[in-house]
A and B are shown apart, each in its own frame.
Chain A
Amino acid sequence: MTAGRKALVTGAGSGIGAACVDRFLADGHRVVGVDLRAGRMAERAGDLEAIVEVDVADAAAVNAIDGVDGIDIVVQCAAIAGPIGPLTEVSPTDWDRAMAVNVSGVVNVMRATLPGMVRRGWGRVVNIASIAGKEGNAHQAAYSASKGAVIALTKSVAKELATTGVLINAVAPTITDTPLLGPATQEMLDFMVSRVPMGRMCQPEEVAALVSWLCSEECSFSTGACFDITGGRATY
């Protein structure tokens, strides 16, 4: 239904990002894959319009992406779990890195892509937030703070652009079966799943299905919203 649009996906090499790439390709879009490590996108290289190895925290590098001003659809999945542990033990370096990737990265990509969308009068941006940004997960202060920031950032920019034809929304998944869970212990995973009324993890393809809708013509009167995909966990 949105076939032929130019989409840019960050964090495209794995997890939700990779699922969004697959879904967009199936939807008929031309997809630019952005990831910190180009190697992770190698197996999809033939299907992709371009593979860009970029650290989204590096604004100059983001601005230098070939054709970044011609993108219609942006999905921002690039993120790190950040430091796990009590706030008082989080190193300032780790804190800064989590904010740089999860917040400044989202800002950098929007700054590079929104002007073109506004000029052409059509755009869809989906920023992947997290239930952690609504609830605040214990021992994940940096991740929770960064995802809360993504939600507020999305609302703010969406209102700025509400009459331009560019729609900007966030989605807030709960625990999703992706490599981001790598460092989590089985005990942590069990705890997180126990908070989900559906009693299971989310699959990346399920998030991609929601993202696909939010990036389509079908989504036309929702902007600045944070869409739930938490298996019933979210309270608001």
Chain B
Amino acid sequence: MSAGRRALVTGAGSGIGAACVDRLLAQGCRVAAVDLHAGDMAARAGELDAVHEVDVTDAAAVRAVDGIDEMDIVVQSAGVVGPNVPLLETPADEWERTLRVNVTGIFNVMQATLGGMVERGWGRVVNIASIAGKEGNPNLSAYSTSKGAVIAMTKSVAKELATTGVIVNSIAPAVIATPMNLATAPEVLDYMLAKVPMGRLGQPEEVAALVAWLCSEDCSFSTGACYDISGGRATY
């Protein structure tokens, strides 16, 4: 249903991003993959429209991505967990880096892509937020803050563009089995898993299935929303 659309996926080298790449390819999209490490995307290079080694915090580099203005679909998975310590012990530079990747990165990619979508009157953007952005996970203040910002930014820009044909949503996964979570301390992971009524980790492919729907023609009257994929954890 999204066949022939041009899609850009950030954080495309692993986890949710890689699953979204696979899924969008399976649906016939032409996919441009963006990641901090091009090597992570090597396995899929033959199927991709392009592989871009870009740090999404670098606005100029994002704007310089070839064909950036022609994207129909944008999925933003680039994100970092950031410091896994109490707020009082959070180093300022790590705080800033987390906010820059998880918030400014999303801002940069939307600034570079939305103009073309609005001009053509069709677009779908899915920003990967997190249940942490709704609830606030302890000892993950930078991550929680950044994901709350993603939810609010999504709502804001979605309302700006509500009548343009460009639909912007976020999703809030609970803990998903991705490399990003390998960096999370085991006791924090256990804490997160204990809060999931389904009692298991989500799989990246499950997230990609939701993302695929939100990027399809079937999604036409939902914008600015934060769709749940938390195994029953989310309270709102």
A197 to B156, CA, bound (A): 11
A 98-123 binary contact with B (CB < 8 Å = 1; else 0): 00000000000000000000000000
Complex: chain B residue closest to A163, CB-CB: B199
* Residues of A contacting B212 in the complex (Cβ-Cβ under 8 angstroms): 218
Structural contact, A203 and B224, CB atoms closer than 8 A: no
Query: How many A residues touch the partner, as a band?
Result: 35 or more
Given the known A-B contacts A209-B219, A219-B209, are A225 and B234 also in contact in the complex, defined by CB atoms under 8 Å?
A: yes
Given the known A-B contacts A230-B221, A230-B222, A231-B162, are A224 and B203 also in contact in the complex, defined by CB atoms under 8 Å?
A: no
Structural contact, B163 and A197, CB atoms closer than 8 A: yes
The 4 A-B residue pairs with the shortest CB-CB distance in the complex, in nearest-first order: A162-B197, A197-B162, A225-B228, A228-B225
* Residues of B contacting A221 in the complex (Cβ-Cβ under 8 angstroms): 173-174, 198, 202-203, 206-207, 229-231
A212 to B206, CA, bound (A): 16
Report which of A163, A226, A230 forms a contact with B197, defined as CB distance below 8 A: A163
Structural contact, A209 and B218, CB atoms closer than 8 A: yes
Structural contact, B162 and A199, CB atoms closer than 8 A: yes
Structural contact, A218 and B213, CB atoms closer than 8 A: yes
Complex: chain B residue closest to A208, CB-CB: B218
- Tell yes or no: B159 within 8 A of A by CB: yes
Which residues from chain B sit less than 8 Å from chain A, CB to CB? 155, 158-159, 162-163, 173-174, 197-199, 202-203, 206-207, 209-210, 212-213, 218-232, 234-236
Q: How far apart are A166's CB and chain B's nearest CB, in angstroms?
A: 11
Structural contact, B206 and A198, CB atoms closer than 8 A: no
What would be 8 A-B contacts, judged by CB atoms less than 8 Å apart? A199-B163, A218-B213, A220-B206, A222-B227, A222-B230, A225-B232, A231-B221, A231-B223
Structural contact, B198 and A198, CB atoms closer than 8 A: no
A 50-90 binary contact with B (CB < 8 Å = 1; else 0): 00000000000000000000000000000000000000000
Structural contact, B229 and A232, CB atoms closer than 8 A: no
A212 to B219, CA, bound (A): 11
- Tell yes or no: A223 within 8 A of B by CB: yes
Which residues from chain A sit less than 8 Å from chain B, CB to CB? 155, 158-159, 162-163, 173, 197-199, 202-203, 206-207, 209-210, 212-213, 218-232, 234-236
A173 to B225, CA, bound (A): 12
Structural contact, A236 and B236, CB atoms closer than 8 A: yes
Q: How far apart are B208's CB and chain A's nearest CB, in angstroms?
A: 10
Q: How far apart are A196's CB and chain B's nearest CB, in angstroms?
A: 8
A203 to B218, CA, bound (A): 12
Given the known A-B contacts A223-B231, A225-B234, are A202 and B221 also in contact in the complex, defined by CB atoms under 8 Å?
A: yes
Report which of A198, A209, A224 forms a contact with B232, defined as CB distance below 8 A: A224
Structural contact, A218 and B221, CB atoms closer than 8 A: no
Structural contact, B197 and A224, CB atoms closer than 8 A: yes
Given the known A-B contacts A218-B209, A222-B229, A223-B232, are A197 and B198 also in contact in the complex, defined by CB atoms under 8 Å?
A: no
Structural contact, B225 and A198, CB atoms closer than 8 A: no
* Residues of A contacting B227 in the complex (Cβ-Cβ under 8 angstroms): 222, 225, 227-228
* Residues of B contacting A234 in the complex (Cβ-Cβ under 8 angstroms): 224-225
Given the known A-B contacts A197-B158, A220-B206, A223-B197, are A210 and B230 also in contact in the complex, defined by CB atoms under 8 Å?
A: no
Structural contact, B199 and A197, CB atoms closer than 8 A: no
Structural contact, A222 and B223, CB atoms closer than 8 A: no
Report which of A224, A225, A232 forms a contact with B162, defined as CB distance below 8 A: A232
* Residues of A contacting B159 in the complex (Cβ-Cβ under 8 angstroms): 197, 232
A202 to B220, CA, bound (A): 9
Structural contact, A206 and B220, CB atoms closer than 8 A: yes
A198 to B158, CA, bound (A): 10
* Residues of A contacting B163 in the complex (Cβ-Cβ under 8 angstroms): 197-199
Structural contact, A162 and B232, CB atoms closer than 8 A: yes
* Residues of A contacting B229 in the complex (Cβ-Cβ under 8 angstroms): 221-222
**Which residue of B197, B203, B219 has the most chain A CB atoms within 10 A of its CB atom?**
B197
Q: How far apart are A111's CB and chain B's nearest CB, in angstroms?
A: 20
A229 to B227, CA, bound (A): 10
